Amino acid sequence: MLSKKAQYAIYALVNLARKYNEGPVQIKTIAEEEHIPRKFLEAILIELKNLGFVNSKKGKGGGYYLINHPEDINLLTITRNFNGPLGLIPCACVVSYERCERCTDEDACSIKMMFRELRDTTADYLEGINLANLLEDNYFLNNNP
């Protein structure tokens, strides 16, 4: 399940993508438009900045803005950074792999293979969707990525 933090990060990034090249957007504006608690949003935006997704400008006319074009930010990267591994069981994870203590032959384990396939399918799907896609009317009706 996608955490609230990951969901809010996506909502905030989509909001900034919608206003790409229009200048910085204030936290207050994003929080109100996306219905995100302001304090939680502040922490998320700091993390997004540390990860290199956004930058900020201080002072009058300040706020947050995307560093890269919305087409260059995919949901896989956001999801992994804010929600953790995609694998539903430790032996199906790539980054946080852990050997299954129950398996006698991990290479022949059909459970591991099925969950790895699910992980790979999910990763491919999320990697194929970027912030710009989320702004397109009827993208999912017309593209079935």
Q: Is the pLDDT of residue 144 over 70?
A: no
pLDDT of residue 96: 81
Domains of the chain: 4-66 (1.10.10.10), 85-129 (no CATH)
Global pTM reads 0.88
Residue 16 contacts residue 65 (beta carbons within 8 Å) = yes
User: What whole-number percentage of the chain has pLDDT above 70?
Assistant: 96
**CA of 117: how far to CAs of 96, 110, 121, in Å?**
16, 10, 6
- In the numeric block, the tokens 């207050």 are attached to 28
**pLDDT, average across residues 35-57:** 97
